[in-house]
Amino acid sequence: MTNECRLKSLEGSASSDFNEKSVFDIPNLDSLDLYDVGLQEMKAGAFGNLPHLKWLSLPKNNLTEIKTNTFSDQKIIYLDLSFKYSIIVLHPGAFKNFNANLLILANNQLTEFPSGVFENVTIRTLILAKNLLHTIAPKTLSTIALNKLALSNNIFDEINPESFDMQQLIALYFRGNLVKLLRPGDLRNLSELKELWLAGNDLEEIPEGVFNNTKLTVLNLNAKQNC
C-alpha cells in the first residue's frame, strides 16, 4: 500500500482562489492538476501544507500575478504556470528557496523579472516562450543553475552577454524574436552552450567570429541569415 495521493484534473470547476486550506485534508498529495478552473488568486504559501507535492499543473487559469512566498521553499519536479496570457507580474520572493526540474511560465504577458523573484533557486529547465519580454536584467538568471532556457516568441532584439551570463546553460531556444545582428562576444558568457535555436528572427548579418570558442553542436538559423 502506497501513501502517495493524486488529485487529477478539476477541469471546468469554479475556483476563484486557492490557499493552504484548499487541500489541507490530503497531506500525501504528490500530483495536482487544476486545468482551466477559473483560478484568479493564489495566496502566499498556498501549497505549504503539501510537503510531498512533486507535480503541479495550473494551465489556462486567470491569475494576473504570482505573489511573494507563493512557491517559497517548494521542491517540485514539474510546475506549469502557462496561463491564458494573464500573468503580468511576478513579485519579489515569489520563488524564494524554490527547486524544480521544470518551470513553465509560457503564454503570459510578462515584460520583466523584478530583482529577487528567483532567490536561492535551482531550476533545470525554464520555459518563458510567448511572453512580452524584451530584456532580462543582468544576473537575474545567472544563479539558478539553468540547463535549458526557452525564450522563443518574445520581443528580444539582441542577445546581451550581461543578461545571458549562464555558465551551465546547454540549450537556448530563441526563435521568433526580433534579433537582426549577432555580434562577436554575444555568447561569451554561455561557455557550455551546445544548442542555439534562432530561426524566425530578423537576422541579416552574422559577422565572422560570432561562434568562436563555443561548444555548439546544434545551430538553427533562418532564411535571412547572410554569413
Show the cell assigned to 179: 534579433
Show the cell assigned to 165: 551570463
Q: How far is CA 130 from CA 121, 152, 153, 154, in A?
A: 23, 7, 5, 6
Whether the per-residue pLDDT at 204 is higher than 90: the answer is no
**pLDDT tens column, 98-115:** 999 999 999 999 998 777
Each domain of the chain, given as residue ranges in start order, spans 1-132, 147-227
Residue 9 pLDDT grade (very low, low, confident, very high; cuts 50, 70, 90): very low
Q: Do domains 1-132 and 147-227 have the same CATH topology?
A: yes
Q: For the chain, give the percent of residues with pLDDT over 90.
A: 58
Q: For the chain, give the percent of residues with pLDDT over 70.
A: 87
Torsion of CA 134, 59, 81, 68, to 10 degrees: 110
- Look up residue 144 and give its DSSP letter: S
Whether the per-residue pLDDT at 27 is higher than 80: the answer is no
Residue 26 pLDDT grade (very low, low, confident, very high; cuts 50, 70, 90): confident
Torsion of CA 34, 124, 50, 62, to 10 degrees: -30
Hey, which residues does 89 pair with through a beta bridge? 65
What is the structure's pLDDT at 219?
A: 95
Torsion of CA 190, 195, 198, 204, to 10 degrees: 70
Q: Concatenated DSSP letters for 14-33?
A: --SEE-TTTTTT-TTEEEEE
Whether the per-residue pLDDT at 7 is higher than 50: the answer is no
- Look up residue 174 and give its DSSP letter: -
Compute the average pLDDT of residues 50-71.
90
Compute the average pLDDT of residues 47-53.
85
Compute the average pLDDT of residues 105-133.
92
120 dihedral zone (left: phi>0; alpha: psi -120 to 50; beta): left
- The chain-wide mean pLDDT, for the chain, equals 86
Contact 22, 7 (CB under 8 A): no
The topology (CATH level 3) of 1-132 is 3.80.10
Contact 138, 161 (CB under 8 A): no
Whether the per-residue pLDDT at 6 is higher than 50: the answer is no
- The amino acid sitting at 145 is A
What is the structure's pLDDT at 57?
A: 93
Residue 21 pLDDT grade (very low, low, confident, very high; cuts 50, 70, 90): low
Whether the per-residue pLDDT at 71 is higher than 60: the answer is yes
Q: For domain 147-227, give the CATH number.
A: 3.80.10.10
Closest CA to 173 of 191, 200, 192, 211: 200
Compute the average pLDDT of residues 173-190.
95
What is the structure's pLDDT at 18?
A: 62
Torsion of CA 173, 138, 190, 182, to 10 degrees: 70
- Of how many residues is the chain composed? 227
What is the structure's pLDDT at 24?
A: 54
